[in-house]
């Protein structure tokens, strides 16, 4: 007697990402995911009751994978000043992979349409910003560096502007410079 096939949630999420990349988030259905995974729809429904649950699971997995990657890069830097922002900059040295970029671009519409999905990302940014400011020797410079880094990453993630490797390396170095730049003082009010 053959053993029943064990269906891993990661296989279902891999199939969901494949559908999103090939056809876009709008065409993600439980049927399409089941077909891509080579399983019955009931197996998908067992773990994910709706398209919304499935999309949010894909988003959570992407977030967890990225957080683990950044943590590993940060740990590899050893003891450094302002570790959270320096870890983010070091992790950004690796360009986003095409698959990750395609998944992110196609899931943006889901974020715009779903408060729960947006909440997942909002919680991530809340954690990151808190970590950046709490571990920085110069919180203002670290936040400015974070904002610049996010701008670079979003332009790349959404294929809005290509940077050469040399330009990118220069920008990451300059973003790192912002972290401890003492000259970054808030502008004075006209009444001062």
Q: Which of 4-8, 58-62, 106-110 has the lowest mean pLDDT?
A: 4-8
Answer whether 82's CB lies under 8 Å from 134's CB: no
Mean of the per-residue pLDDT values of the chain: 89
What six digits make up the tokens of 42? 């009931």
The answer to whether 60 and 9 are in contact (CB under 8 A) is no
Helix (H/G/I), strand (E/B), else coil: 65: helix
pLDDT at 59: 93
CA distance 79 to 82: 9
Confidence of residue 189 (pLDDT cuts 50, 70, 90): low
pLDDT of 186 above 90: no
pLDDT tens digit sequence for 24-36: 888 889 999 999 9
In angstroms, the CA 23 to CA 14 distance is 14
pLDDT > 90? residue 72:
yes
The more confident residue out of 187 and 122 is 122
Environment class of 129 (CB within 10 Å of its CB; exposed 0-12, middle 13-18, buried 19+): middle
R_g over Cα of the chain: 20
pLDDT at residue 175 in the model: 97
Q: Is the pLDDT of residue 109 over 80?
A: no
Give the pair of three-digit tokens for residue 128.
Answer: 């990151």
């Amino acid at each position: 007697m053959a053993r029943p096939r064990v269906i891993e949630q990661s296989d279902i999420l891999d199939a969901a990402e494949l559908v999103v990349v090939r056809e876009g988030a709008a065409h993600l259905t439980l049927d399409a995911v089941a077909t891509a995974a080579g399983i019955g729809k009931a197996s998908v429904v067992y773990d994910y009751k709706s398209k919304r649950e499935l999309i949010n699971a894909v988003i959570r997995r992407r977030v967890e994978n990225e957080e683990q990657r950044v943590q590993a890069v940060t740990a590899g830097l050893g003891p450094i000043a302002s570790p959270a922002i320096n870890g983010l900059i070091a992790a950004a040295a690796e360009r986003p992979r095409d698959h990750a970029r395609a998944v992110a671009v196609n899931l943006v519409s889901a974020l715009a349409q779903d408060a729960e999905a947006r909440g997942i990302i909002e919680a991530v940014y809340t954690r990151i910003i808190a970590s950046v400011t709490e571990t920085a020797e110069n919180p203002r410079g670290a936040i400015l560096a974070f904002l610049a880094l996010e701008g670079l990453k979003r332009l790349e993630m959404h294929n809005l502007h290509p940077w050469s490797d040399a330009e990118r390396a220069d920008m990451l170095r300059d973003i790192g410079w912002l972290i401890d730049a003492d000259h970054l003082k808030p502008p004075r009010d006209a009444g001062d």
